[in-house]
């Protein structure tokens, strides 16, 4: 198959079980990139390290078969380390050409898909660990992050951040607890991995912890050091341990002192998402 063809790359992405399970990628608020002139790199092939170095991407570890890194030919990161563990069939897709990601991506599972930024100026500082099989990590266009740890584990699980989400520093998002909890009477696990979804335009304050299975509605705000254990509705403010809704009918702007135009733009955007 010709992996320089954008259609082939997107077809492989759509075959990912995490993408299919989520069912939102490519829809409003979760746009796929427009791959105009993609550079497709197999980290295990000769010359791959040099090609990735030009984009400020460093490969560590042992490349397995069938892994692909796809980026715009003009993409330059702020310093991304991709740590390979000899696993196979992983697809990493970076939007571009301006990709402001910095951090570390650990691929410790097979056949995962990682999509960071769609096509805009996405500024992200993240440590991402994928111990999943057929999992999905998606960060939408315009999302920003001052410092987050994402732990993705399980079969066909996903962590998805819709467009224009804003994450502060020392954020944790985990699809699993890392260790099993067993009901002794039934001998069944009570804490299986579950996916996490942040709908578009969600703001997570400093040191927020998002637990497995959580969905946070569009336009919502989660206060600093909250622990989110259950779903939160759209257009709310939540805080506390565990996080509870303390205000409804609210959202946020990136500006600390928004003018009427900025407020109007947020209201219009949220209205479009609700109608969609």
Whether residue 180 is preceded by a cis peptide bond, meaning omega within 30 degrees of 0, is: no
- Least Cα distance to 35 among 57, 64, 15, 11 occurs for 11
Say which residue the tokens 């609700």 belong to. Answer: 274
Distances (CA, A) of 12 to 3, 92, 134, 167: 10, 11, 12, 29
Say which residue the tokens 């699809």 belong to. Answer: 175
Query: Which structure tokens are listed for 25?
Result: 């990628």
Is pTM, for the whole model, over 0.85? Answer: yes
Say which residue the tokens 């939408």 belong to. Answer: 140
* DSSP-derived 3-state class of residue 71: strand
Tell me the CA end-to-end span of the chain in Å, nearest whole number: 35
- Least Cα distance to 13 among 128, 94, 75 occurs for 94
- Least Cα distance to 117 among 82, 158, 145 occurs for 145
CATH architecture of the domain 6-178+191-273 equals 3 Solenoid (2.160)
In contact, 31 and 25? CB cutoff 8 Å:
no
Q: What is the pLDDT along the chain (276 residues), one digit of tens a residue?
A: 555 566 777 788 888 999 999 999 999 999 987 667 788 899 988 889 888 998 899 999 998 999 999 988 878 788 999 999 899 999 999 877 667 889 999 999 999 999 998 666 678 999 999 999 999 999 999 999 999 999 999 999 999 999 999 999 999 999 999 999 999 999 999 999 999 999 999 999 999 999 999 999 999 999 999 999 999 999 999 999 999 999 999 999 999 999 999 999 999 888 766 555
In contact, 195 and 157? CB cutoff 8 Å:
yes
Largest CA distance in the chain: 59
Query: Which structure tokens are listed for 66?
Result: 């069938």
């Amino acid at each position: 198959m010709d992996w320089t063809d954008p259609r082939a790359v997107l077809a492989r992405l759509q075959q990912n079980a995490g993408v299919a399970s989520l069912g939102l990628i490519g829809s409003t608020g979760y746009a796929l990139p427009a791959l105009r002139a993609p550079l497709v790199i197999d980290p295990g092939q000769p010359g791959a390290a040099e090609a990735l170095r030009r984009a400020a991407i460093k490969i560590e570890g042992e490349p397995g078969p069938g892994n692909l890194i796809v980026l715009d030919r003009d993409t330059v990161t702020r310093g991304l380390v991709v740590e390979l563990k000899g696993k196979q069939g992983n697809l990493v897709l970076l939007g571009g050409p301006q990709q402001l990601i910095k951090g570390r991506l650990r691929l410790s599972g097979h056949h995962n898909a990682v999509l960071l930024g769609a096509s805009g100026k996405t500024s992200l500082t993240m440590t991402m660990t994928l111990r999943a099989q057929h999992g999905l990590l998606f960060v939408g266009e315009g999302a920003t992050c001052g410092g987050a740890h994402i732990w993705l584990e399980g079969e066909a699980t996903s962590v998805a951040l819709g467009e224009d989400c804003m994450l502060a520093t020392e954020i944790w998002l985990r699809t699993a607890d890392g260790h099993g909890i067993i009901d002794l009477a039934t001998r069944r696990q009570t804490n299986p991995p579950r996916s996490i979804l942040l709908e578009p335009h969600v703001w997570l304050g400093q040191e927020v912890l998002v637990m497995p299975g959580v969905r946070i509605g569009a336009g919502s705000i989660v206060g600093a050091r909250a622990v989110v254990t259950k779903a939160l509705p759209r257009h709310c403010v939540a805080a506390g341990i565990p996080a509870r809704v303390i205000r409804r009918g609210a959202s946020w702007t990136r500006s600390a002192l928004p003018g009427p135009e900025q407020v109007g733009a947020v209201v219009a955007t949220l209205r479009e998402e609700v109608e969609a």
